[in-house]
Amino acid sequence: MSTTMHQHGGIGESIKRKEDARFLRGKGNYIDDLTLPGMLHMAILRSPHAHARIKSVDTSAAAAKPGVIAVVTGELMAQHKLAWMPTLSYDTQAVLATDKVRFQGQEVAAVVAETKYQAEDARDAIVVDYEILPAVISPDGAKAEGAPVIRNEKEGQKDNHIYHWESGDQAKTQAAFAKAHKVVRLHTFYPRCHPAPLETCGCVADVNPATGKATIYMTSQAPHAIRTVFALVTGLPEQNIRVVSPDIGGGFGNKVPVYPGYVVATAASLLIGRPVKWIEDRSENLISTGFARDFHMTGDLAVDEKGKITALRAHLDSDNGAFFSDAQPSKFKAGLFHIVTGSYDIPTAHITADGYYTNKAPGGVAYRCSFRVTEASYLIERLVTNAALELGLDQAEFRMNNFIQPEQFPYTSATGWIYDSGDYPKAMQVALDKLGYEELRKDAEARRKKGEVTGIGIASFTEVVGAGHGADFDILGLRMFDSAELRVHPTGKAMLRMGTKSQGQGHETTFAQIVAEELGIPAADVAVEEGDTDTAPYGLGTYASRSTPVAGAATAMVSRKLRDKARKLAAHLLEAAEEDLTWERGKFYVKGSPDRAKTIQEIAFAAYTNLPEGMEAGLEGVHYYDPPNMTYPFGTYAVVVDIDKGTGQVKVKRMVAVDDCGVRINPMIVEGQIHGGLTEGFGIAFMELITFDSDGNCIGSNFMDYLIPTAWETPKFEIGETVTPSPHHPLGAKGVGESATVGSPAAYVNAVIDALSPYGITNIDMPVTSDKVWAALRSKGVTE
Amino acid sequence: MKVTMRVNGAERTGDVEPRVLLVDFLRTNLALTGTHVGCDTTSCGACTVLLDGDPVKSCTVLAVQADGRDVKTVEGLAQGGALSPVQVGFHEEHGLQCGFCTPGMMMVGTALLENNPNPSEEQIRWAISGNICRCTGYMNIVKAIQHAAKLQQAAAAAPSQGAAVPAGGGE
């Protein structure tokens, strides 16, 4: 550690993380670690049924249990006009059910008691009489004639359809398909999975009965947006609401939405006048909070005689659960699925999507991805591999032949999106070289001749991250800018606050490094704080890989603002003209006289002690950054698998990941993010599944059923990089948190399909489990 | 029921219901919140502590079962302000991100190195396979434990040097 003590910590340095000091000692401050004087505990009663009418709720036995302070029902919430709340997708969601329950795990009532054990005991004493209704568990079921109308409480809602969405040019695409040499079709289901951060969601709501100030400590990736939503929902004045996100034990999108538990705990604290803590258990987290994916996708690629892709069309049926509460920019019903043309120069595309209510948990979130980019990337990368296999072409060569070329940037895609930058062939070549692709191909052919089942999969994904620009991207009307406030103290140490919120990404280190680079104060001297809406400037939060693209840019811009003022101060101190000063990281000196210099620390002191006539005191500033465009990180992932014919077991032998996220601020942290994303991608590809039986019972409601990769099955990763700076980001950075989860599932599955293609197997839906592979091989007559 | 146990070297007592879990006793009664709860089903390992030196998942041990025994939690790793070799390894090799699984991982790593000072990568992966990490992909956790093994070996070879690291941990 001593070797790192004196590093400056600018951009590109893998300095060790500042936040580690508390986490290593067990001194993190997660939500469940918080205890306030007089604090009560809340437990939520959830529906055991997927779809049922509530006939009665009897709370008398529960209310009589020891330690119970209050039992909250939907009826009580309705009296305060809080039985329903708005969602992030302009729908409504029940806070506590009043009329019927619409998914298993839905919130029905809550008990507030002196201890957690007492709250749970009393919760189990609430008696609810249900009339069970038929459950709808898929879009096909939702569409079926005579299907029960799940949202019958909504005026004008006669069926289970939520939205229809289209993008691209239908006529042009149809014409291209009419002329196609070959049409390759893939129908695939990207199943429901769950971000499952190791820390579940929870809050401590503390409404002060004397002042009316509501302080809500909660696991939120977007505390400012939550504050505004709370103000709008409850009618409380926004200055009387303080949302504090403490240390967060992983988010991955799960901690973006507003969940009923937060609302009930806050209402309970308001009514009782004491702080109320609510912490989900793991099953509650898995069965009721923001899931991901659940997209049924059909895609077609048109290919000409020369192996060029000439058109893409796709249709999606989206399973949104009981309430349309997807956490995504409000103008984008199917998220950013527009990126489905991927890294390829496809002249025309047409995509349609329909969303459906089902009796499943609501809250489609982007599990470590930027709003449905994962589903889009998966579809195109699977289609491209299938096309290559069907045409008898090499997967890598087919991709190279269809890539958008470096000189085509900025590139306007067939769905109208402007890709800022990219060099796809280069990233692909680095990956192929690292893999030793040609040798491996030959080796695979030889082994296949001996009857072995082996394959190589490639995915050359491109992402679209860093929302917004604010004109197109908003959450409930709030433009998706972000912010940074920088205060340089008289002693030259600094405090940086942002509108984002780290959940493990290392913001306290990375953002200090941006200040270190731009203003010359060593990273060790820059404290970074996020998550407290009373102190941090307004921002839209951390998700969709937007922290570095947006708040990182704001940090660079505010640092430059302060540097401009520092120049004026330095000119005053050095008695020189501003234009005669040269900036070198950490100091200004007079051109040609490096000895006549003032360090940023000396300048900071002067900002409070020795100002030129007429200058405002202090060295502080704030910047709100509204990006001109999204950023487009990309890369190529390549996977080698062996498959055991006898058991269907897939063994990932190698995983090579080449990422281009533009300029890397802390390469160590970037690589750590990639490792994590590749592992979650591996989990999604092979293990993680939230599914339902025909009655709507959730299978995958605990970590014995919802399988997360451990160190034992997780492959080792071989990491590579290329650097194509974003032309519009002040630092050239693009964001990286999600690339690996977006890009890797298709690479893993493509490897399996490549291995199975000699047997005529063209698709297995995720998770690709041994039993599915075994059954696919047996269906083609393959035995040991 | 009255329970008495040695926690991080000090005798601690408490009056608990028989059903109280060890993890709740540690977190609520003793305010040792470094031990976390991630799943309630013995699956994730975030709650791992050492009971008489062996790693156990404290969400599946009753407080009364620890009566009269020795418990070590993450708060007991650093000695006199100096991080333990495993803690140093996690910092140096970037073996943690959100930090939620970290205490459990470090307790398992500590127990492993106690029994096997020079584990292979496979042995490390097997040892931590009862602990879930959602952030790191495990590669750097493996490296962190290897790093700690090297530090311990160096300390054993030159006992006067030790593996002491100043308090403050970060930069």
pLDDT, average across residues B5-27 = 98
Reduce the secondary structure of A242-298 to three states and give it as a string. Answer: EEECCECCCCCCCCCCCCHHHHHHHHHHHHHCCCEEEECCHHHHHHHCCCEEEEEEE
Q: What are the φ/ψ torsions at residue A254 (nearest 5 degrees)?
A: -65, -25
Residue A609 is encoded by which pair of tokens?
């002690």
Instruction: Determine the distance from the C-alpha atom of residue A345 to the mean position of all C-alpha atoms in its chain, rounded to a whole number.
Output: 27
Q: What was the pLDDT predicted at B158?
A: 83
Domain A7-15+482-625 shares a fold with domain A372-463+629-779: yes
Three-state SS for A350? strand
Residue A543 is encoded by which pair of tokens?
């998700």
CA distances from A568 to A133, A572, A592, A613 (A): 73, 6, 18, 11
Q: What was the pLDDT predicted at A6?
A: 60
Residue B165 has pLDDT above 60, yes or no: no
Q: What was the pLDDT predicted at B164?
A: 47
What type of residue is B32? Answer: L
Distance between CA atoms of B155 and B157, rounded to whole angstroms? Answer: 5
What is the β-pairing status of strands A453-459 and A581-584?
unpaired
> In this predicted model, what pLDDT tens digit does every residue of A203-257 receive, in sequence order?
999 999 999 999 999 999 999 999 999 998 888 999 999 999 999 999 999 999 9
User: Which of B41, B98, B171 minimises the CB distance to A248?
Assistant: B98
Three-state SS for A560? helix
Strand partners, B6: B11, B70
Task: Produce one character per residue of B156-166: b if its CB has 16 or more CB atoms within 10 Å, e if not.
Answer: eeeeeeebebe
Three-state SS for A587? strand
Rg (CA), chain B: 16
Provide, as residue numbers in chain B, all residues whose Cβ is less than 8 Å from the Cβ of A249. 36, 38, 98-100
CATH topology of domain A7-15+482-625: Aldehyde Oxidoreductase; domain 4 (3.30.365)
CA distances from A544 to A329, A374, A466, A735, B147 (A): 11, 11, 6, 9, 34
Is the CB of residue A532 less than 8 Å from the CB of residue A501? Answer: no
CA distances from A341 to A299, A353, A372, A406, A415 (A): 11, 15, 13, 16, 8
Boundaries of every domain in chain A: 7-15+482-625, 34-133+200-248+255-288, 372-463+629-779
Contact A117 B17 (CB under 8 A): yes
What type of residue is A352? Answer: T
Contact A708 B132 (CB under 8 A): yes
DSSP label at residue B157: H
Evaluate if pTM is beyond 0.90.
Answer: yes
First to last CA, chain A: 54
Three-state SS for A735? coil
Catalytic site positions of A: 221, 368-369, 738
Q: What was the pLDDT predicted at A611?
A: 96
Decide if A409 touches B, using CB distance below 8 A. Answer: no
pLDDT band of B159, cuts 50, 70, 90: low
Average pLDDT by stretches of 10, chain A with 784 residues: 64 98 98 98 98 98 98 97 93 97 98 98 98 98 98 97 97 98 98 98 97 97 95 91 98 95 97 98 97 97 98 98 92 92 98 98 89 96 98 97 98 97 98 98 96 98 92 91 97 98 97 98 98 97 94 98 98 98 97 97 98 97 97 98 97 98 98 98 98 97 97 98 98 96 98 98 98 98 88
Domains and CATH numbers, chain B: 2-73 (3.10.20.30), 85-157 (1.10.150.120)
**ipTM at complex level:** 0.97
Instruction: Determine the distance from the C-alpha atom of residue A765 to the mean position of all C-alpha atoms in its chain, rounded to a whole number.
Output: 22
Q: What was the pLDDT predicted at B160?
A: 59
Distance between CA atoms of A547 and A543, rounded to whole angstroms? Answer: 7
Preferred mutation among B26, B29, B39 to probe A, highest tally of A CBs within 10 A: B39
Distance between CA atoms of A223 and A532, rounded to whole angstroms? Answer: 7
Three-state SS for A234? helix
Is the CB of residue A293 less than 8 Å from the CB of residue A375? Answer: yes
Preferred mutation among A6, A7, A13, A24 to probe B, highest tally of B CBs within 10 A: A24
**Beta strand extents in A421-546 (DSSP E only):** 453-459, 474-475, 478-479, 482-488, 494-498, 526-530
Residue A110 is encoded by which pair of tokens?
């809550």
Q: With CA atoms as reference, report the closest residue to A257 among A309, A328, A205.
A: A328
Distance between CA atoms of A684 and A369, rounded to whole angstroms? Answer: 13
Q: Give contacts of A 486-505 with B, CB under 8 A.
A: 503-505
The alpha-carbon gap from B53 to the nearest alpha carbon of chain A, in Å, equals: 18
Host H or E run for residue B144 = helix B139-157
Residue B37 is encoded by which pair of tokens?
């709860």
Reduce the secondary structure of A610-654 to three states and give it as a string. Answer: CCCCCCCCCEEEEEEECCCCCECCEEEEEEEEEECCCCCCEEEEE
Reduce the secondary structure of A662-730 to three states and give it as a string. Answer: ECCCCHHHHHHHHHHHHHHHHHHHHCCCCEECCCCCEECCCCCCCCCCCCCCCCCCEEEECCCCCCCCC
Q: What are the φ/ψ torsions at residue A280 (nearest 5 degrees)?
A: -65, 150
Is the CB of residue A341 less than 8 Å from the CB of residue A415? Answer: yes
Complete DSSP assignment for B50-105: EETTEEEETTSSBGGGGTTSEEE-GGGTSBTTBPPHHHHHHHHTT--SS-SSHHHH
> In this predicted model, what pLDDT tens digit does every residue of A170-213 receive, in sequence order?
999 999 999 999 999 999 999 999 999 999 999 999 999 999 99
Please enumerate in sequence order all residues whose Cβ is within 8 A of that of A447, keeping only pairs 6 or more positions apart, or say none.
A454
Q: What are the φ/ψ torsions at residue A584 (nearest 5 degrees)?
A: -130, 135
Decide if A32 touches B, using CB distance below 8 A. Answer: yes
Decide if A199 touches B, using CB distance below 8 A. Answer: yes
Decide if B164 touches A, using CB distance below 8 A. Answer: no
Host H or E run for residue A225 = helix A223-234
Q: What was the pLDDT predicted at A783?
A: 86
Distance between CA atoms of A32 and B87, rounded to whole angstroms? Answer: 23
Task: Produce one character per residue of A380-400: b if its CB has 16 or more CB atoms within 10 Å, e if not.
Answer: bbbbbbbbbbbeeebbbebbe
Please enumerate in sequence order all residues whose Cβ is within 8 A of that of A609, keeping only pairs 6 or more positions apart, or say none.
A490
Distance between CA atoms of A559 and A620, rounded to whole angstroms? Answer: 9
Please enumerate in sequence order all residues whose Cβ is within 8 A of that of A60, keeping only pairs 6 or more positions apart, or say none.
none
pLDDT, average across residues B138-158 = 96
User: Which of A32, A672, A712 minimises the CB distance to B136?
Assistant: A672
Preferred mutation among A6, A18, A23 to probe B, highest tally of B CBs within 10 A: A23
Three-state SS for B148? helix
Other beta carbons less than 10 A from residue A401's beta carbon:
16
Task: Produce one character per residue of A523-561: b if its CB has 16 or more CB atoms within 10 Å, e if not.
Answer: bbbbebebbbbeebbbbbbbbbbbbbbbbbbbbbbbbeb
CB neighbour class for A46 (10 Å; exposed up to 12, middle 13-18, buried from 19): buried
Three-state SS for A552? helix
What type of residue is A447? Answer: R
What is the β-pairing status of strands A411-412 and A418-419?
antiparallel
Decide if B7 touches A, using CB distance below 8 A. Answer: no
Position of tokens 């692909």? A428
Provide, as residue numbers in chain B, all residues whose Cβ is less than 8 Å from the Cβ of A703. 39, 41, 43-44, 132
CATH architecture of the domain A372-463+629-779 equals: 2-Layer Sandwich (3.30)
Q: What was the pLDDT predicted at A7?
A: 82
The alpha-carbon gap from A248 to the nearest alpha carbon of chain B, in Å, equals: 7
Q: What was the pLDDT predicted at A157?
A: 97
pLDDT, average across residues B65-84 = 97
Host H or E run for residue B140 = helix B139-157
**Share above pLDDT 70 across residues of chain B, in percent, rounded to a whole number:** 92
User: Which of B43, B103, B140 minimises the CB distance to A704?
Assistant: B43
CB neighbour class for B55 (10 Å; exposed up to 12, middle 13-18, buried from 19): buried
Distance between CA atoms of A743 and A464, rounded to whole angstroms? Answer: 12
The alpha-carbon gap from B164 to the nearest alpha carbon of chain A, in Å, equals: 11
CATH code reported for the domain at A34-133+200-248+255-288: 3.90.1170.50
Decide if B100 touches A, using CB distance below 8 A. Answer: yes
Provide, as residue numbers in chain A, all residues whose Cβ is less than 8 Å from the Cβ of B19. 117
The alpha-carbon gap from B14 to the nearest alpha carbon of chain A, in Å, equals: 16
Distance between CA atoms of A180 and A304, rounded to whole angstroms? Answer: 6
